[in-house]
Structure 1
Amino acid sequence: MDRIAAAFSLLIDRPVSLYAAAVLRIGYGLLYLVFLLREFPYRDQIWGPGSPWTHALAEQLFDQTGWASVLTLSDSRVYFEVCYAAAVVTSALFMLGWRTRAVSVLFAVVVASFHARAIFMTDGGDNLILLMAVYLVFTACGRHWSLDARRARLRAATARGARLPLGAGAGDLLHQLGDARRTLITVLHNCGMLVIAAQVCFLYGSAGLYKVQGGTWGDGTALHYALNLDLFQPWPALSQMVAGHDVLITVACYVTVLLQVAFPFVLFGRLKYPVLVMLLTMHVGIAVLMGLPLFSAAMIVADAVFLPDRFYRFLGRLWRVSVRHAGARGTAASPRLTSAPVPTQAGPAG
């Protein structure tokens, strides 16, 4: 009973992992912004009127799956270009944390629309970004490291000591409404962060259990075959060099399966930190060796939800100290015009 009361208190008392939510917002906003800019030259062939997957085919699929996309509301090229520009601006604003409550909804609509319009042009990272975009709508991901946070600080500094007098009844009502709003936001945020963490655990656990059922993962040859696929060879020479180390490949196969299966069970101890480091190494290897940077980056950002806020606060302090020292060194290195004495001018000979 005490544990239930403690869990309920944690759910409604204060929002948890606010810095982690900010990292997720910045990470996925930046990822999708880079993704849209990277595909800008090919936007018409992927999502636009010139795509082989036409509007008619997309709408037929929507009738079967129940999906929807704002991109199929019109077949006009001008409309598509406006939607694409709006998607780029929305991703940038979401990353910066401007009016995060409203922009997070627009960002989820953008990701869902582009994902649904080209459902066969994904690599797995798009699916995860779509899920996270929906989950982040319910979180208070703009509380830190955002333009909203900066505006709130400035507003608090301006309004300090300048409160308007209110009647007792009106003041009590506003206080109660404010408490109810804060409680609702806290509950939604905590539930959203819990769902995000559960989604990542489910992803790793199911991937590990799926690999256990495969014969190539059991005998340690799965990565060897993956490295020899032309589709996943951005640098063939590097892939061939790595594939030539049979023992290393076998060990990597077993370690990958072990990490993914064990991940949900190590989250409540300090063992999760070395596991997260090893998963980071694994995702970097996937990005470099298999040419899947979007998928790897999406997974790395998702893993950030398991790092405590004290870690991010430490990074923030470290960043501020580094910037301060860099500014001090720049000031010391710049020439000072008044540092040298001005020589006295000799008067005219008398």
Structure 2
Amino acid sequence: MTFMTTPLLLALAKKKEIDVSAHIDVSTQALWIAAAAVAIFFILRPELWRRIFFERRDARPAALTRIAFGITIMWTFLDLLVLQGEFLFTDQGLLLTEMARKNYGGKMRTLWDPEYGVEHWWDYFMILTDRWTVLFIRSDPPFVYAMFGVLFFCCTMMIIGWRTRLFTVLTWLAVLQLYNYNPIYFTGGDTVLRVHAFFMIFVDWGQAYSVDSWRKRRKAISKGETAALPDYKQIAGWPRIIFMIQLAAIYSSTGLLKSGKTWADGTALYYALNLDHFYRFPNHLMNAWMTKLYITRGAAILVHWWEILFPLLFLGEALRGWDRDEKAGTWQGPVPRWTLYCVAMAASIYGVWYGPSWTRPLPLLLLAGLILVDRMWLKEADTSGKGALSWVVRVSSWACVVVFFVVAAYMADLGVHYYYKPGAKVAAFWKNKEMLGTLASVMTLVIPAFAGGLILGLRRWAPKVYLFVRDWLLGKRFWLVLGFLFHLGIDASMNVGTFVQVMIAVYPIWLAGQDIDKMWWYLYRLPAKPGEGGRPAWPEGKLKQGLRLAIAPFERAVYRVERDPWVVVHGADDVDVRRVALLRCWDLGQRLRFELDEDRAKGAPLTLRAPDGKSTLTGADAGAVLIPLFPGLWWLWPLSLVPGVGKLAVLILRQRG
């Protein structure tokens, strides 16, 4: 018996912590130096900081994220409610109200009593600083179902964009009320959803594709405040950056944590697909053959490295920003004089911190001297990037980057020293930790230097190759499409809740305005026929035709042609002109053309002429035609056969005669 239980006890024993005390002081100082290098870099290049975090951005990518993420929240909690809502969230299920409060109630366990309430009025605010939910007070089924109803209502309002900022915050609060009651069922998807739900309250994503933005544009058009179609209001960019950093951190960290043998040889996916609580259907034989044929092995290795290298997307974004600056003839190097003062003051204070007391006033004297020199001799900031000051800033800022990577190299050496455990049967080369640590340090410096030099070389001597690297290997279309396909494969083969949907829902935040335009253009175009729209003509010969038939789906996806448009016939009076402008607000795919009819009666109903020019529709019939043409009306598409839906579309579009 002892022989059998000893290994089990050893397995359950707490893993021995690694003693890093020998290098804790110097490594902490090194990390502070790295942080200081990053801070000084952005002090020297404040325009880069402003561009990254405070530049105004197109609101449409965030709006698409709002819709996708809102649907994901609804999907997640509807799934929980239908499958196990009463069991997980009510006092008729897994936990009584008092038990849930005692186990997960945070400060509410000690500051609030069911009979006497709180002792001090400020205790309510203290409770809010920890884990809390109204379900710790009451969790009977009717009340819990009402909370689900509140969440679904708030989330629906957020999706359609009515009072978007308000209902975004209320949706986040409703999500917390349900999630905080019982964490026993949490998965990675639930954790990511809670984090993203918090981030979303900072995004002004109601400025496009929402009732709020439609009302603002309609008001501007109706009052004649603008002759052209009002643009969407741009929004702050820093919440978008937070979403992007969060997604990259999730992918990269999970990729780095997948460090076992099964991920190295690609068999991890085989084992995951054979876990009975993961797979959607038993397919052991197929998984075995796919592993033997290296299909799942290759997919696992590809996914592993895709996750680790996902932050390369930021490099692609930086290169595109650099190219835009060069094309515009601007350089992000001019430095406000106060930033130089800050650097000089910080350096001088650090220099005299441990010096004699008489040296303490020297930083103030240095500051006074800098201001005097600035006022009397220095000229205006150089915006060309070619002056002496610009070169000083450029060299100093990149020196900070070098310092950062030197610290990273040192930390890589320490990582090998403390955390690398060579196997018993590995070659002697892999047992030499000192040499491997040095190699890790060198590669930490060499790889970024080589990659930077390669990109600069391609940019100068092979611009076409550089554009391919920038827009494809480091571009959104490659990394996000690959991620989308990976997640679809996971969702089709494995039961992981709504993790897939939660991750994909924030992909649109990476897009730019021109990407959205291209998306609508693509969705509303038809696949080109052979010989049409640049698609190669159909060849002769059965062999060639067979090959072309095999790649026909790819050709249909690549070659698109514009559909014949529907024509809106309108009059010349102000009312008709404004109604046309309102229609253009909905026409994201540019499926409409507009034709002036000066003889048209004033106040006539909405009139559409079919693409073939043979038929004309008016009123409700015309409204029914517009439902599939306008993405904002797609929610009416399932009701297309219901009488009166066309009239409803006309009312929504404000096209009543």
TM-score by length of 2: 0.44
Tell whether the 8 Å contact from 2:92 to 2:140 is kept in structure 1 after alignment: no
AA in 2 matched with 1:226: A
1:168-218 CA-partner distances (Å, limit 9, x unpaired): xxxxxxxxxxxxxx9xx95xx322111111101110110010002x22212
Question: Residues 19 and 144 of structure 1 are in contact (CA less than 8 Å); yes or no, is this contact kept in structure 2?
Answer: yes
Match of 2:136 among 42, 54, 72: 72
Q: Matches of residues 13-52 of structure 1 in structure 2 within 5 Å?
A: 13-14=55-56, 16-41=57-82, 42-52=84-94
Within 5 Å, give how 1:1-350 maps onto structure 2: 3-8=45-50, 11-14=53-56, 16-41=57-82, 42-64=84-106, 66-161=130-225, 189-212=236-259, 214-237=260-283, 240-246=285-291, 247-269=294-316, 270=471, 271=473, 272=475, 273-292=477-496, 294-317=498-521, 318-319=523-524, 320-321=588-589, 324=592, 328=610
CA contact (8 A) 2:53 2:241 kept: no
1:228–1:240: 8 Å Cα contact kept in structure 2?
no
Q: Would you say the 8 A contact 1:204–1:263 is kept in 2?
A: yes
- Aligned residue type for 2:70: G
Per-residue CA deviation, residues 247-301 of structure 1 (Å, 9 max, x unaligned), is 1121112111110111102333222321222111110011010023511111112
Contact residue 609 and residue 617 of structure 2 kept, 8 A: no
Higher helix residue share: 1
Identify the range of structure 1 (114-123 vs 190-199) with the bigger mean alpha-carbon deviation.
114-123
Helix, strand or coil for the counterpart of 1:244?
Answer: helix
Q: Secondary structure at the match of 2:515?
A: helix
CA RMSD of aligned residues (A): 3.0
1:82 shift after superposition: 1.7
In the TM superposition, what is the alpha-carbon distance from 1:10 to its structure 2 partner? Answer: 5.9
Quote how far apart the aligned CAs of 1:9 are.
5.3
Whether the aligned pair in 2 keeps the contact of 1:98 and 1:146 (CA below 8 Å) is yes
Q: Which amino acid aligns with 2:282?
A: P
When residues 260 and 85 of structure 1 are mapped into structure 2, their CA distance, relative to the original with a 3 A threshold, is same
CA spacing shift, 1:329–1:285, aligned 2, 3 Å: same
Deviation at 1:91?
1.4
Task: Go from structure 1 to structure 2 and tell me whether the alpha carbon gap of 1:240 and 1:249 turns closer, same or farther (over 3 Å shift).
Answer: same
Paired letter, 2:79: R
What is the Cα deviation at residue 5 of structure 1?
2.2
Residue 159 of structure 1: CA displacement? 3.8
CA distance in structure 2 between the partners assigned to 1:207 and 1:54 by the alignment:
35
Kept in 1: contact 2:266–2:297 (CA 8 A): yes
SS at 2:506 equivalent: helix
- What TM-score comes out, normalization by structure 1 length? 0.79
Q: Distance in 2 between matches of 1:3 and 1:275?
A: 29
Gap change, CA 1:290 and 1:90, over 3 Å in 2:
same
Letter in 1 for 2:512: P
Displacement, 1:240? 4.2
Where does the alignment leave 5 or more consecutive residues of structure 2 unmatched? Answer: 1-42, 108-129, 227-232, 317-470, 525-587, 594-607, 619-657
Query: Aligned partners of 1:81 and 1:240: how far apart in 2?
Result: 43
CA contact (8 A) 2:105 2:131 kept: yes
| Residues 10/204 of structure 1: CA separation in 2 closer, same or farther (3 Å cut) | closer
Q: Distance in 1 between matches of 2:202 and 2:79?
A: 29
Q: Give the 3 Å change call, closer, same or farther, for CA 230–130 of structure 1 in structure 2.
A: same
- Aligned partner letter, 1:290: M
**C-alpha separation in 2, matches of 1:330 and 1:34:** 41
Distance 1:55 1:330 in 2: 66
The one-letter code sitting in structure 2 at the alignment partner of 1:202 is A
C-alpha displacement of 1:78: 2.8
- Go from structure 1 to structure 2 and tell me whether the alpha carbon gap of 1:312 and 1:38 turns closer, same or farther (over 3 Å shift): same
How many residues end up aligned between the 2 structures? 310
Work out which of the two has the higher radius of gyration on C-alpha atoms and give 1 or 2. 2
Any unmatched runs of 5+ in structure 1?
163-181, 337-350
> 1:150 is aligned with what amino acid?
W
